[in-house]
Structure 1
Amino acid sequence: MNTSASNRRLRVILTAVGSGTLIPQPDFQRRLVWTNKDKVEFIKTVVDGYPFPEIYIAAGKVDPKTGEGSEVLVDGQQRVTTLYQYFKGDPDLRLPKDLPQYSDLHVQRQIDFLEYSVVVRDLGAMSIDVIRDVFKKINSTSYGLNAMEIDNARYGGEFKKFGEEVSEIDFFDNYKIFTSSDIKRMNDVRYCLGLVVTIMTTYFNRDKELEVFLEKFNEEFPNRDTLLSNINVTLKFIDSLNFNPNSRAMKKADFYTLFVEVYKSLILKGVKLSASNVRKYLDEFYMKVDDVSAGRYSSSNAEPEIYYKAALQASNDRGNRINRGKIISGIINM
């Protein structure tokens, strides 16, 4: 694939967007996910004359009768759209006091903004299928990013920050819930976001709902303080059970279930759980589950066997999460 890089003045790009000859959102591109803060910081970058990474374009449709054609923006949608919003004075863009509206800039600063040099890499004429492939390679798993790392690149907002804050609570480090590899690859954040979504809604399939919440609460996440306080209350109770970090209770799938069901009982239902009773009943149950694992438990289709199977394979499937949840709920509320 032959590509060429050149510089274009920002005014050329903006007027092309306005005239429809540069299409900033082909159907394969993700929707805009920058927060207002992200947009403001980026606009300041350009207004102050600092550079930003190159954008990618490709040739679009050409009218053979008139000779007029269009281009599609393969990568750089959020940057270009944000600058266009600023240029046109979009009311949805909320600017702080230290960043004037474009229309309020001094004439020379307006000219400097319009004359800003953007590095553009032209991919030339190619089919939409090839363009889709290029877009995926630029933005997703081709470089070995996992799902949370991709979402981290896409969402810098309040819900993701909340997941990070939860994952940094000392409890998780004290009980060695996450490995160093988990933390390095942001799997700790994804896990904690899963916990948060579950206590806000119900058990769901794998990570299906995470991106919905990352986008929905990207700009604002109301009631975060109350939710964080309730999470800490739940973790404090589980900590009072004094499980060994090597206990089954602290394995990811098992802890996921224990946390959610304790949260439901303590916070949502207002049940006063007895730490000593909960620990006693869980010890008895986990011992039976370990017997199933070792082939020492003979009663088929009993709760320990159902739980073990639900925690062993496809543990993140909604059905298995529900099965484990019903069993643990019954035990801790005895």
Structure 2
Amino acid sequence: MDTSASNRRLRILLTSVSNKTLIPQPDFQRRLVWTNNDKIEFIKTVLEGYPFPEIYIAAGKVDPKTGDGAEVLVDGQQRITTLYQYFKDSPDIKLGKHLLPYSKLDEDDQINFLEYKVVVRDMGNMPLDEIKKVFQKINSTSYGLNAMELHNSRYGGEFKTFGEEISQMKFFEDHRVFTSNDIKRMSDVKYCLGLLITIMSTYFNRDNDLEEFLLKYNEEFPLKEAILENVTSVLSFIEKLNFDNSSRAYKKADFFTLFVELYRVLINEEYEIDIPQLRNKLDKFYEQVEWASSGQVNADVDALNYYKAALQASNDRSSRIQRGEYISKVIKSAIT
């Protein structure tokens, strides 16, 4: 595979996008997900003359009769599209008062922008299937990134940042909900994003809805303040239950269910709950679950089914729903 690298002036790339001889978004590429702030910071990088990582292109379709052809942008569409939008004074970028539009730059600054050298790695006339494989390699498994780390590399917006903020709440540290490895691999952020998505919608299967919400609320997340207040309120309520840190209540699958069902009863349905009574009932239920986990044949049926839903495929939608039904029953039995 020939992947020779060379420099191209930015004006050549921008002109190619304009006349459609460089296709910035082939079908296999992901949608544009940079926030407005991401775009501004990247434009400043170019205006100040700093380098950015190489982009990949490949030969596209060629008309054998006319000799006309096009290239496809295999990797780098966010960068090139952002620079093209800036060059065209596109309304898709809100520059604010600290960055001049391209049309208002001094002529020397415009020339410097257009003459900026971009490192381009040309993959040549490669079949589409091979291009897709290269794109996936560049953007996915080269360093063994997990799903959340990949999302983190693609989304720097409001919803992802809010998930990080929730994961860093003192509550989770105090009760050791997350392991050091969870935190190292961003599993704590993914977990908290899952909690947020569930209270905003419903139980979902594994991580299926994660990217949808990251994209939907990438630019702005207007619900942030209200949800933060509600999440804080529910966590405060759980603190008042005063579980021992060894309780099942702080195991990830169990806590997920307890938090979501308490949120629904306290926030959505606005019921009052007798805290000592609920603590007593949950202690008894979790005791039955532990009893079921030891293989006792006379274990409570609800507790046995709950345990199975927490043990196997615990992140499947059906398991989450099943656990929710049993915990909801216990919670509602303590409503005042």
TM norm structure 1: 0.98
Aligned equivalent of 2:327: 328
The answer as to whether partners of 1:291 and 1:297 remain within 8 angstroms in 2 is: no
Q: Any idea what SS the aligned residue of 2:119 has?
A: strand
Mark the runs of 5 or more structure 1 residues left unpaired by the alignment. Answer: none
- What aligned pairs does 1:149-228 form with structure 2 within 5 A after superposition? 149-228=149-228
Task: Give the counterpart letter for 2:183 in structure 1.
Answer: I
Q: Distance in 2 between matches of 1:316 and 1:256?
A: 10
**1:2 to 2:2 alignment:** yes
C-alpha displacement of 1:76 = 0.2
C-alpha displacement of 1:215 = 0.3
Q: Distance in 2 between matches of 1:4 and 1:207?
A: 38
Task: Give the counterpart letter for 1:70 in structure 2.
Answer: A
The answer as to whether partners of 1:158 and 1:218 remain within 8 angstroms in 2 is: yes
Mark the runs of 5 or more structure 2 residues left unpaired by the alignment. Answer: none
Q: Distance in 2 between matches of 1:167 and 1:321?
A: 20
Aligned equivalent of 2:84: 84
Q: Distance in 2 between matches of 1:121 and 1:142?
A: 18
Q: Any idea what SS the aligned residue of 1:56 has?
A: strand
Tell which deviates more after alignment, 157-166 or 55-64: 55-64
The answer as to whether partners of 2:292 and 2:299 remain within 8 angstroms in 1 is: no
Task: Give the counterpart letter for 1:42 in structure 2.
Answer: F
Aligned equivalent of 2:122: 122
The answer as to whether partners of 2:288 and 2:299 remain within 8 angstroms in 1 is: no
C-alpha displacement of 1:297 = 4.1
C-alpha displacement of 1:257 = 0.2
The answer as to whether partners of 1:265 and 1:271 remain within 8 angstroms in 2 is: yes
Q: Any idea what SS the aligned residue of 1:321 has?
A: helix
Q: Distance in 2 between matches of 1:195 and 1:229?
A: 15
CA deviations on 1:301-326 (whole Å, 9 max, x unpaired) are x2111101110101111111111111
Task: Give the counterpart letter for 1:322 in structure 2.
Answer: I
**1:303 to 2:272 alignment:** no
Q: Any idea what SS the aligned residue of 1:60 has?
A: strand
**1:319 to 2:318 alignment:** yes
Tell me the matched-pair count.
Answer: 333
Task: Give the counterpart letter for 1:181 in structure 2.
Answer: N
- What aligned pairs does 1:102-121 form with structure 2 within 5 A after superposition? 102-121=102-121
Q: Distance in 1 between matches of 2:30 and 2:328?
A: 39
Q: Distance in 2 between matches of 1:238 and 1:209?
A: 26
The answer as to whether partners of 1:136 and 1:142 remain within 8 angstroms in 2 is: no
C-alpha displacement of 1:275 = 1.5
C-alpha displacement of 1:299 = 5.1
The answer as to whether partners of 2:291 and 2:299 remain within 8 angstroms in 1 is: no
C-alpha displacement of 1:65 = 1.3
CA deviations on 1:197-248 (whole Å, 9 max, x unpaired) are 0011111111111111100000000121111111011011111111122211
Task: Give the counterpart letter for 1:329 in structure 2.
Answer: S
The answer as to whether partners of 2:33 and 2:218 remain within 8 angstroms in 1 is: yes
C-alpha displacement of 1:22 = 0.5
- What aligned pairs does 1:8-47 form with structure 2 within 5 A after superposition? 8-47=8-47
- What aligned pairs does 1:238-277 form with structure 2 within 5 A after superposition? 238-277=238-277
Q: Distance in 2 between matches of 1:299 and 1:164?
A: 39
Task: Give the counterpart letter for 2:67 in structure 1.
Answer: G
Task: Give the counterpart letter for 2:311 in structure 1.
Answer: L
The answer as to whether partners of 1:177 and 1:252 remain within 8 angstroms in 2 is: yes
Q: Distance in 2 between matches of 1:89 and 1:110?
A: 13
Aligned equivalent of 2:135: 135
Aligned equivalent of 1:58: 58
Instruction: Output the aligned Cα RMSD.
Output: 1.0
Q: Any idea what SS the aligned residue of 2:53 has?
A: coil
C-alpha displacement of 1:141 = 2.5
The answer as to whether partners of 2:56 and 2:75 remain within 8 angstroms in 1 is: yes
Q: Distance in 1 between matches of 2:212 and 2:185?
A: 21
The answer as to whether partners of 2:158 and 2:218 remain within 8 angstroms in 1 is: yes
Q: Distance in 2 between matches of 1:212 and 1:40?
A: 24
Q: Distance in 1 between matches of 2:103 and 2:244?
A: 63
Q: Distance in 2 between matches of 1:68 and 1:227?
A: 54
Q: Distance in 1 between matches of 2:32 and 2:137?
A: 19
The answer as to whether partners of 1:137 and 1:143 remain within 8 angstroms in 2 is: no
Cα gap change, 1:76/1:316 in structure 2, threshold over 3 Å: closer, same or farther? same
Q: Any idea what SS the aligned residue of 1:156 has?
A: coil
Task: Give the counterpart letter for 1:330 in structure 2.
Answer: K
Q: Distance in 1 between matches of 2:299 and 2:172?
A: 35
Aligned equivalent of 1:281: 281
C-alpha displacement of 1:21 = 0.6
Off by >6 Å, runs of 4+ in structure 1 = none
C-alpha displacement of 1:2 = 2.6
